[in-house]
Chain A
Amino acid sequence: MTLLLDIVTTAAILFIVSAGLLAIFGVLEIVNFAHGAWLTVGAYCAVVTGGLGLSPWLALPLAFVAGAVLGGVTERLIVRPLYSRPQDAILATWGLGIIIGQLITLGFGRDVQFTENLLSGTIHILGTDYSLYRLFALAAAVAIGLGFALLLEGTRLGLSARAVIMNQSLARALGLDTTRIRFVTFMIGTGLTALAGVLLTPLTSVDPTMGVAWLIGSFMLVMVAGSSFGALAVACLVFGGAQVLVSTFISPILGGITVAVLSALVLRISSKGFARV
């Protein structure tokens, strides 16, 4: 039973961490290699609220705003000039990740930081005691997924975003302000990523390089999922499940590379990955 819960909650955490990257990749067709830095920024928002003695829950809106504002500046200054050079955009955003990482180091030092737990303790569920926080993460993942579904299906921005995903030049020809759509999408994506950073704090240690470890996993998942949140959810469940199984029964170290290796193999077999789901 614990195994099943582990699988589902691991998938949920993977989903939370990669959702922001997927939103950006789906609409902008740009891989934001500074993704890890935004996770770190979010986590340090939790450190700041903790330092000010505020409720740890306040870190969530703070991180979203900080991530989105930072994302807006980044889109304008770094990403926009590089739309026609996606390879260079990967590199420039990676460079930005270095910059953010160093700035955080200068501000907070390179040591591991401790944050207050959002939720602690366990809950009795399905015949076993399980971490309350991991279950909360599952709920958060579902909320984020539903939130995006609503945003895409139910709002004008979502409609425009879907049009841009399907056919960018046609969308522009029809008079959609693609520049603005990209700008807003990038802000939402980075805001969400920073939010994910806060949600990660109870699960991982907080230090200036914490994001890098998560970057590759989410990057691979997004490659496999293409531009579909449904596909991302499936990929997280399948690969997250495989990761838990490998970690439990073979070796935790090999578990750490399961997602990356499986994603690479899936892409080798079908270049669209799970995008058709």
Chain B
Amino acid sequence: MSDALAISPSRSNAVRRRAAILGVLALVALALVIFGPMFLSRFSINVLTRSMIYAILAITVDLLWGFTGILTFGQAAFFGVGAYATAMLLTHIGSSPTLISLALVLAILVPVVLGTIVGWLSFYYGSTPIYATVISLVFPIVVTQLIYSGGTLTGSSSGMVGYSGLPFGLEGFFRLSGISLVVVTLGALIFVRSDSGRILTAIRDNETRCAYLGLNTQRIKIMLTAVLAGVAGLAGFLYANASGVVAPENTSFVFGTELVVWTALGGRGTILGPVLGAVGIDYLSASLSGELPFLWQLVVGTLFVVMIIFLPNGLAALVSRLTRRGRGEVVAGAGPELVSEAPRHHVKMVDGPLLSIDKLEKSYGSQKVLADITLDVAPGELVSLVGPNGAGKTTMMRCLTDGKESSGGVIRIAGKNIAGMVPNQIVALGVGRKFQVASVFESLTVAECLRMARASLEAPSFVAASDTLSLPPAAIEILQLTGLDQLLSTEVSLLSHGQKQSLELAMVVALEPRMILLDEPTAGLTKAERTTIGTILKKLTNELGFAAILVEHDLDFVRDISSRIVVLHQGRLVLDGSVDEVVNSDIVKTIYSGGDHV
């Protein structure tokens, strides 16, 4: 590693130790699956081959549901499509090494294409999580019914059997499935700990914040669905070869729910938990089904319900609660090295005002919330938006960051009309938004949150968890002023309200926007914290040339830091002037003292 010098020794040791543990575990697992067949009965080899293929599916469910928060029952269908693609090709066209390779390619490619379609259907701007679950139910049902109506092409309800696939024996397939499982598990473990992998958790925690950090979360989820459909298809290929038979049940949503049950029992969001859950339960099911078939299902069902209610993170959570430290407590001083990075100026500069609003209007039915707002903001200005509750301040902020919000008028940012744009596109124009209630990622560390803010600027690694954290100087200064630089590896859920507000501000600044929108950044803060934020904002605008728009109730604070004040009242812009002009105007006194309407 080129930047090895920058790594603090304790952290680099920890990283190395973790890699070593992972490597040893992988080797042990490989040894188990390679030498296992020598000690196992024929029955066990047979069942475990299947269980290990199912475990690959459980990993894909865990990545989607456990890590990203997308509850899916559809992985069974991708698995089934992969299995059927293999069986149909080998049955109807014939079997040769070339055709088997072709079957492998198709078994991955077809699910990837279908996964892209399913992803596109499930994830669009404004889609709800339950809708994705709905689609994940419909998809396997459609696939299953198509197989039933496929006649001899798909074997209909009796499935397909009697094709010849890979020329491996019982033990060969056991080893092949085992090695595949170890590889997929290792890949998944490395991925979820990498900088890219943390994006999945960020999406689960707070998708809105992801979008306002410039990440196209819909596209990320579609890509994830497509890739994991391919992995499920690969498992289908293995299954079709190893079992020599495919049946409509392999694609059904009921099988999809079983995958979720295994994942839940093993422990969602842990990769290893679902693997052990799938292998353990499927193996036990097969072993016990002879003696007490229904009772066993009853036990699994009961365990599942109890687990979901009392131990939602599964058995793995019990284990990690006993062994894992670090997370769940405040860690001072540890974490990646902060590296100051020269601003990138990734946003194209244009002449003219940074923000230009022309006759903005927003109405709900006949109720006009904003009308005839016209306003320009230039770089270096700190514009405060004041007005009583219900004046339309927050609505206006929303209109500025979501091109689908306004109902009339034109908003241009850096000369570009934002009509119809979604938040992450607007962020790419150089806008950063800080929400009223601190919007951060609760289960990530401080450093990981900041890294998310950089993810749209520099593609994070799929493999490595970086030892350094490059941020623009302004963001680092915020961290130092607020003491967050000492808490980089502390989980965000442990921070105080004020620390979260500061962290969000640092994240927004780390985006390197040219305009920052802040909705009541000082609400609920102590006097000292308030002063710190004021100092930072002044510096950002005066010295660094950011434009800032601030919604604020605290008029003293506004007076101290603003370069200009805009007054909204009942959805209209009633005053726009310098601090002195506005503060001494009669209109403001009237509005704030609750006098008659303007």
Task: Mark A residues whose CB is within 8 Å of B.
Answer: 31, 78, 81-82, 85-88, 90-92, 94-96, 98-99, 102-103, 105-106, 110, 212, 216, 219-220, 223, 251, 253-254, 256-257, 260-261, 263-264, 267-268, 271
CB-based contact A220/B301 at 8 Å: no
Tell me if B128 counts as interface (CB < 8 A to partner A): yes
**A85 to B130 CA separation, bound complex (whole angstroms):** 12
**A256 to B295 CA separation, bound complex (whole angstroms):** 32
CB-based contact B300/A98 at 8 Å: yes
16 pairs, A vs B, C-beta closer than 8 Å? A81-B309, A82-B309, A87-B133, A88-B309, A90-B71, A91-B261, A92-B304, A95-B261, A95-B301, A98-B301, A102-B297, A220-B134, A251-B149, A254-B145, A260-B141, A271-B128
**A114 to B107 CA separation, bound complex (whole angstroms):** 43
CB-based contact A253/B149 at 8 Å: yes
Which listed residue (A86, A88, A96, A110) contacts B312, Cβ 8 A?
A88
Which residues on B sit within 8 Å (CB–CB) of A85?
312
**Which stretch (B252-260, B410-418, B518-526) binds chain A?**
B252-260
CB-based contact A88/B308 at 8 Å: yes
New contact pairs (14) apart from A95-B302, A98-B300, A106-B295, CB-CB < 8 Å: A78-B305, A82-B308, A88-B309, A90-B71, A90-B133, A95-B304, A98-B304, A102-B298, A219-B137, A254-B145, A256-B145, A260-B142, A263-B134, A264-B135
Write the chain A residue with the least CB distance to B71.
Answer: A87
Which residues on B sit within 8 Å (CB–CB) of A267?
131, 134
Tell me if B462 counts as interface (CB < 8 A to partner A): no
Q: Which of B280-295 contact A (CB under 8 A)?
A: 294-295
**A105 to B295 CA separation, bound complex (whole angstroms):** 10
Tell me the smallest distance from the CB of A257 to a CB of chain B, in Å. 5
Tell me the smallest distance from the CB of B546 to a CB of chain A, in Å. 36
CB-based contact A91/B138 at 8 Å: no
Tell me if B129 counts as interface (CB < 8 A to partner A): yes
**A103 to B299 CA separation, bound complex (whole angstroms):** 11
Tell me if B191 counts as interface (CB < 8 A to partner A): no
CB-based contact A253/B304 at 8 Å: no
Which residues on B sit within 8 Å (CB–CB) of A216?
137-138, 141, 253
CB-based contact A261/B295 at 8 Å: no
Tell me if B127 counts as interface (CB < 8 A to partner A): yes
CB-based contact A102/B142 at 8 Å: no
Write the chain A residue with the least CB distance to B302.
Answer: A99
Tell me if B33 counts as interface (CB < 8 A to partner A): no
Write the chain B residue with the least CB distance to A217.
Answer: B141
Which residues on B sit within 8 Å (CB–CB) of A223?
130, 134
Task: Mark B residues whose CB is within 8 Å of A.
Answer: 69, 71, 121, 124, 126-131, 133-135, 137-138, 141-142, 145, 148-149, 253-254, 257, 260-261, 264, 294-295, 297-298, 300-302, 304-305, 308-309, 312
Which residues on B sit within 8 Å (CB–CB) of A261?
138, 142
**A195 to B69 CA separation, bound complex (whole angstroms):** 35
Which listed residue (A81, A87, A95, A257) contacts B142, Cβ 8 A?
A257
How many A-B contacts at CB < 8 Å in the complex?
A: 100
Which residues on A sit within 8 Å (CB–CB) of B309?
78, 81-82, 88, 92
**A81 to B300 CA separation, bound complex (whole angstroms):** 20
CB-based contact B137/A91 at 8 Å: no
Tell me the smallest distance from the CB of A202 to a CB of chain B, in Å. 25
Which residues on A sit within 8 Å (CB–CB) of B130?
31, 86, 223
Tell me the smallest distance from the CB of A228 to a CB of chain B, in Å. 17
CB-based contact A268/B121 at 8 Å: yes
Which listed residue (A87, A103, A264) contacts B129, Cβ 8 A?
A87
Which residues on B sit within 8 Å (CB–CB) of A219?
134, 137
Which residues on B sit within 8 Å (CB–CB) of A263?
134, 138
CB-based contact A264/B121 at 8 Å: yes
Which residues on A sit within 8 Å (CB–CB) of B149?
251, 253-254
CB-based contact A102/B294 at 8 Å: yes
CB-based contact B308/A264 at 8 Å: no
Which residues on A sit within 8 Å (CB–CB) of B133?
87, 90
CB-based contact A264/B305 at 8 Å: no
CB-based contact A106/B145 at 8 Å: no
Which residues on A sit within 8 Å (CB–CB) of B254?
212
Top 8 closest A-B pairs, CB basis?
A98-B301, A95-B305, A95-B304, A102-B298, A253-B149, A99-B301, A92-B308, A264-B138
**A99 to B309 CA separation, bound complex (whole angstroms):** 15
Write the chain B residue with the least CB distance to A80.
Answer: B309
Given A256-B145, A257-B145, A267-B134: A91 and B128 interface contact (C-beta under 8 Å): no
CB-based contact A96/B121 at 8 Å: no
Tell me the smallest distance from the CB of A42 to a CB of chain B, in Å. 20
Write the chain B residue with the least CB distance to A97.
Answer: B301
Write the chain B residue with the least CB distance to A88.
Answer: B308
**A45 to B442 CA separation, bound complex (whole angstroms):** 49
Tell me the smallest distance from the CB of B573 to a CB of chain A, in Å. 32
Tell me the smallest distance from the CB of B195 to a CB of chain A, in Å. 27
Which residues on A sit within 8 Å (CB–CB) of B264?
91
CB-based contact A91/B308 at 8 Å: yes
Tell me the smallest distance from the CB of A250 to a CB of chain B, in Å. 10
CB-based contact A102/B121 at 8 Å: no
Tell me the smallest distance from the CB of A217 to a CB of chain B, in Å. 10
**A106 to B138 CA separation, bound complex (whole angstroms):** 30
**A110 to B297 CA separation, bound complex (whole angstroms):** 13
CB-based contact B126/A260 at 8 Å: no
CB-based contact A271/B127 at 8 Å: yes
Write the chain A residue with the least CB distance to B257.
Answer: A94
**A220 to B305 CA separation, bound complex (whole angstroms):** 23
Tell me the smallest distance from the CB of A222 to a CB of chain B, in Å. 10
CB-based contact A106/B301 at 8 Å: no
Write the chain B residue with the least CB distance to A105.
Answer: B294
Which residues on B sit within 8 Å (CB–CB) of A220?
134, 137-138
Tell me the smallest distance from the CB of A262 to a CB of chain B, in Å. 10
Which residues on B sit within 8 Å (CB–CB) of A212?
254
Among B254, B260, B304, B308, residue most surrounded by chain A Cβ atoms (within 10 Å): B308
**A220 to B142 CA separation, bound complex (whole angstroms):** 14
Tell me the smallest distance from the CB of A269 to a CB of chain B, in Å. 11
Which residues on A sit within 8 Å (CB–CB) of B257?
94
Write the chain A residue with the least CB distance to B127.
Answer: A271
